[in-house]
Structure 1
Amino acid sequence: MADTSVKIDNATRERLKALAEGAGMSMKDYLARVAEEKEHEQQLDTATAAFRRVIGAPGLLDRFDADFGGLPPAAAHHTPRAA
């Protein structure tokens, strides 16, 4: 893939350079990672919004419990504790 240039102010460039160096990466690789992370965040936001719409449907949780038996009794969730 061909490289290109992006015009940004010096302060932003220095901030990005410091972040890239702190991550032990070139600025090119760091910006690629930031772009991937931002795309992932958008996908999660979209999925979260869809999930909230679905679980907000009237009666959905009651139908789910009826079909799948609801949550198991609390005793079935025994978690050992440290002494």
Structure 2
Amino acid sequence: MADTSVKIDDTTRDRLKALADSAGMSMKDYLAKVAAEKEHEKLLDTATAAFRRVIGEPGILDCFDADFGGLPPTAVHATPRAA
């Protein structure tokens, strides 16, 4: 794949460079990672919206519980937690 240039202001470039450096990545690799993450977020948003539409239908949650056993019981910890 051929490389290309994108015009951005110096402040944005510096911010992206600092983020890439802190991740131990080149800016090229960092931007590719950010693009992939954003695409994944968009897919998750679409799936979440579809799931919310489906579970809003009457009887769907009851059918889900019948098929899959409902929610797991609340976990009880036998050992106390630190404050």
1:44 and 1:60 map into 2 onto residues whose CA distance is 21
Distance 1:57 1:72, change over 3 A: closer
**TM-score, structure 1 as length reference:** 0.81
2:68 and 2:26 map into 1 onto residues whose CA distance is 53
Aligned pair partner of 2:78 in 58, 76, 81: 81
Q: Larger % of helix: which? A: 1
- 1:9 is matched with 9
Q: Tell me, which stretches of 5 or more residues in structure 1 are unaligned?
A: none
Deviations, residues 11-58 of structure 1 (Å, cap 9, x unaligned): 000000000000000000000000000000001000000000000012
Matches within 5 A, 1:51-70: 51-65=51-65, 67-68=66-67, 70=69
The reply to whether residue 25 of structure 1 matches residue 45 of structure 2 is no
2:42 and 2:7 map into 1 onto residues whose CA distance is 25
Runs of 4+, deviation exceeding 4 Å: 77-80
Q: Aligned pair count?
A: 80
2:26 and 2:72 map into 1 onto residues whose CA distance is 52
RMSD: 2.3
Q: Percent of aligned pairs with the same residue? A: 69
